[in-house]
Amino acid sequence: MKNEILEKLNLEKPLLIFDLETTGVVVNLDKVVELAYIKLYPDGKREEKTYKINPGIKIPQEAVDVHHITNEEAATFPYFKEYANELFEIFSDCYYGGFNVIGFDLPMIQKEFKEVGLNFQYTTDDIIDSKVIFHNQEKRDLTAAYKFYCDKDHIDAHSAMGDIVATEDILKAQLERYPEILDKEFLCSMHSQKDERYVDNERKFYWRDGEAYLNFGKHKGKSLKEVSQEEPGFLNWMLGADFGIEVKEIVNNALLGIYPKKNNSN
């Protein structure tokens, strides 16, 4: 029997749905510690497997907190190169599915293959990314919210008064739908939430073993402390560039020798 997903999409080659756990969020710096996949074939055949991988570098505590694979455990796993030929065969000539594989998992696995001398190539035509589909199909603008919460069409979209009237109706509907947001403390905590892997909301810096590292530009993968000591001119450039207040405060403090410290409230 044909696989339902492949049949509906009229796919003539296998769909490989996969996910990676890694040592961090920087493709060129970090390494894979776990790989799991489900491979669906046009004839209905299904394969699935999980690989535990020794990254060969230290796993920062921030990553351990996410996937719970410790450095002690990882030291007992085989290195990627020991799985490389097997995985290359699995990944060859497929469509690739997952959640944000286009932005992270595919570039990461491509880099891992390259480091062991294997040329893994793919194109956007080969990708079926559920996150891209979700963001494209489920709009997150005011018109979509008005329809979802109030079941009304926003006919006055982009007129100031029309927009705030719709927003008022949406807020009333949200208060009815989510009684938990009547708790002001909970409501405030919701607005202050951010991804714990990053130092700031713009994701210009990320945590690595409790220290801030740059997540962009020519110094990506270097610690903020290292950059401030070796090339303070780059940080001075950031102060004059189009970054937010939070980022500029971090940079200004770094130039004064004061660096972010991770604590339980971050």
Residue linked to tokens 């996969």: 18
> Quick one: pLDDT at residue 192?
64
Overall average pLDDT of the 44-68 stretch: 94
Instruction: Tell which residue, 197, 218, 217, has the closest CA to residue 209.
Output: 197
Q: How far is CA 215 from CA 58, 134, 257, in A?
A: 18, 26, 20
> In sequence order, what are the beta bridge partners of 206?
198, 213
pLDDT value at 41 more than 50: yes
Tokens describing residue 81: 């190169």
> Quick one: pLDDT at residue 193?
63
What is the C-alpha separation between 208 and 223, in angstroms, rounded? 9
CATH of residue 88: 3.30.420.10
Q: What confidence category does residue 64 fall into, taking pLDDT thresholds of 50, 70 and 90?
A: very high
Q: Find the domain containing 180 and state its range.
A: 142-191
Q: Is residue 156 a part of any domain in this protein?
A: yes
Same domain, 15 and 120: yes
More confident residue, 143 or 135: 143
Question: Sign of the C-alpha dihedral, residues 228, 65, 37, 103?
Answer: negative
Same domain, 110 and 8: yes
Same domain, 117 and 181: no
Helix H or strand E encompassing 194:
none
Query: Which of 109, 134, 159 is the C-terminal boundary of a domain?
Result: 134
> Quick one: pLDDT at residue 106?
95
More confident residue, 184 or 130: 130
Instruction: Tell which residue, 87, 74, 78, has the closest CA to residue 114.
Output: 87
Same domain, 14 and 120: yes
Same domain, 11 and 85: yes
Same domain, 148 and 245: no
Overall average pLDDT of the 143-157 stretch: 89
> Quick one: pLDDT at residue 6?
87
Q: Is residue 262 a part of any domain in this protein?
A: no
Q: Which pLDDT tens digit goes with each residue over 178-200?
A: 999 888 788 777 766 667 889 98
Same domain, 184 and 113: no
Q: Is residue 196 a part of any domain in this protein?
A: no
> Quick one: pLDDT at residue 60?
93
> Quick one: pLDDT at residue 1?
62
Same domain, 108 and 124: yes
Same domain, 116 and 227: no
Find all residues with CB under 8 Å of 71, minimum gap 6, and list them: 58, 59, 64
Q: Is residue 102 a part of any domain in this protein?
A: yes
- Number of CB atoms found within 10 A of residue 28's CB: 9
Same domain, 25 and 104: yes
> What's the domain count of the chain?
3
Same domain, 156 and 245: no
